[in-house]
Amino acid sequence: MIREMTKEDFAAFWPCFESVIKAQETYAFDPEMNFEAAYQLWCATPLKAFVFVEGGQVLGSYYIRANGMGPSNHICNCGYMVTEAAQGKGIARQLCEHSQQIAIELGFEAMQFNSVVSTNTVAVKLWQKLGYQIIGTIPRAYRHKQLGYVDSYIMHKQLQV
Amino acid sequence: MIREMTKEDFAAFWPCFESVIKAQETYAFDPEMNFEAAYQLWCATPLKAFVFVEGGQVLGSYYIRANGMGPSNHICNCGYMVTEAAQGKGIARQLCEHSQQIAIELGFEAMQFNSVVSTNTVAVKLWQKLGYQIIGTIPRAYRHKQLGYVDSYIMHKQLQV
């Protein structure tokens, strides 16, 4: 089930979130960010945040926010995370499909990912399968903990005209 | 002379800022933004903001901020504005060259512009002349007040390795 995220949900999700940012392989978030700062960033500041819940467990989450202001506020941005134990079960795909529906309901016309780490091939392939295109490559955009400097992709999908 | 911007400077610059955002031709800022919100966005939230002053008049300004967090915080972002009366005098170029020096002093390795409106050819050509490359095109990214939907460019320059 996918539903809006509460602060309690974020607390349950925090161990996953913390391990993702500490790994420094996928997200351009401060790896030392504390719970409250992470909650603000993921849940409070965005327009909405959702969780994927199964058997009372939070297995994944995403947020949605406007990617630009004023004359660019018709493009949204989302971020997705799935717990390590729940990976490979299609949850990221379900979250992304849900977010596209929510984006349309909120009146957004397109979705943009500003920093998909190029070495995160599972994510890149999934977004491509779901209709997102690489519209730009930022050279040396991400200091990957294992691989050093790697490029990031900007990905984009038109949702409605 | 280029020096750090005070709130008084921003007040002097506000008529220019307001007319730029109301025109909805170049900046993805809310055209109805008030003085205080604009001050926060341009001066208070960024790392630094500067003004170009000549004969006691504020003729231009720029801000510099990190474009990403954590493993991407080595790339900065800047925004530049020059008053209409002072355009064509090379002030934008001076501001941009100054910002590259400041970026290096602050330890940034590259600079990225996230939304250069493609129809703003004066800006696009100037940034290209100063070594910035178009690394991506966002389709229909900007609702131009005169032209309707137009693309935006993502531009990037490596400053140091």
Tokens of A154: 């900007």
- Look at residue B22 in the predicted model and tell me its pLDDT: 97
Instruction: Give B46-73 pLDDT, tens digit per residue.
Output: 999 999 999 999 999 999 999 999 999 9
Sign of CA dihedral B121, B123, B128, B130: positive
pLDDT of chain B, 161 residues: tens digit per residue: 999 999 999 999 999 999 999 999 999 999 999 999 999 999 999 999 999 999 999 999 999 999 999 999 999 999 999 999 999 999 999 999 999 999 999 999 999 999 999 999 999 999 999 999 999 999 999 999 999 999 999 999 999 98
- Look at residue A88 in the predicted model and tell me its pLDDT: 93
- Look at residue A99 in the predicted model and tell me its pLDDT: 98
Sign of CA dihedral A138, A140, A144, A147: positive
Comparing C-alpha atoms, which of B18, B25, B33 is closest to residue B145?
B25
Could you say which of A31, A110, A143 has the minimum Cβ distance to residue B74? A143
Comparing C-alpha atoms, which of B19, B11, B101, B110 is closest to residue B51?
B11
Interface contact flag, A138 B144, Cβ < 8 Å? no
- Look at residue B72 in the predicted model and tell me its pLDDT: 98
What DSSP state is assigned to residue A61? E
Q: For chain A, what is the mean pLDDT? A: 97
pLDDT of chain A, 161 residues: tens digit per residue: 999 999 999 999 999 999 999 999 999 999 999 999 999 999 999 999 999 999 999 999 999 999 999 999 999 999 999 999 999 999 999 999 999 999 999 999 999 999 999 999 999 999 999 999 999 999 999 999 999 999 999 999 999 98
- Look at residue A45 in the predicted model and tell me its pLDDT: 97
**Strand-pair partners of B78:** B64
Determine what percent of chain B falls in helix, strand and coil, rounding each to the nearest 5: 35, 35, 30
CA distance B39 to chain A (A): 15
CB A152 within 8 A of CB A127: no
- 3-state SS, residue A68: coil
- Residue A25 CA, distance from chain mean position: 14
- Number of residues written out for chain B: 161
Could you say which of A33, A72, A154 has the minimum Cβ distance to residue B28? A72
Phi and psi based region of residue A150 (left: phi greater than 0; alpha: psi -120 to 50; beta: remaining): beta
Q: In chain B, whose CA is at the least distance from the CA of A114? A: B114
B87 in reach of chain A (CB within 8 A): no
The structure tokens 């297995």 sit at A59
- Look at residue B153 in the predicted model and tell me its pLDDT: 98
CB < 8 Å & 24+ apart, contacts of A77-83: A77/A111, A77/A112, A77/A113, A77/A114, A78/A103, A78/A111, A78/A113, A79/A27, A79/A42, A81/A13, A81/A16, A81/A17, A81/A20, A81/A27, A82/A16, A82/A52, A83/A13, A83/A16, A83/A58, A83/A59
Within 13 Å and on the Cβ side, how many CA atoms surround A54? 11
The CA distance from B133 to B101, in Å, is 18
A144 in reach of chain B (CB within 8 A): yes
CA distance A56 to chain B (A): 32
The pairing of beta strand A110-117 with beta strand B75-82: unpaired
Find all residues with CB under 8 Å of A161, minimum gap 6, and list them.
A109, B140
Extended beta strands in B7-132, E state: 48-54, 57-66, 75-82, 110-117
CB B71 within 8 A of CB B105: no
CA distance B36 to chain A (A): 16
The CA distance from A145 to A80, in Å, is 20
The pairing of beta strand B148-158 with beta strand B110-117: antiparallel
Domains and CATH numbers, chain A: 2-112 (3.40.630.30)
CB B4 within 8 A of CB B47: no
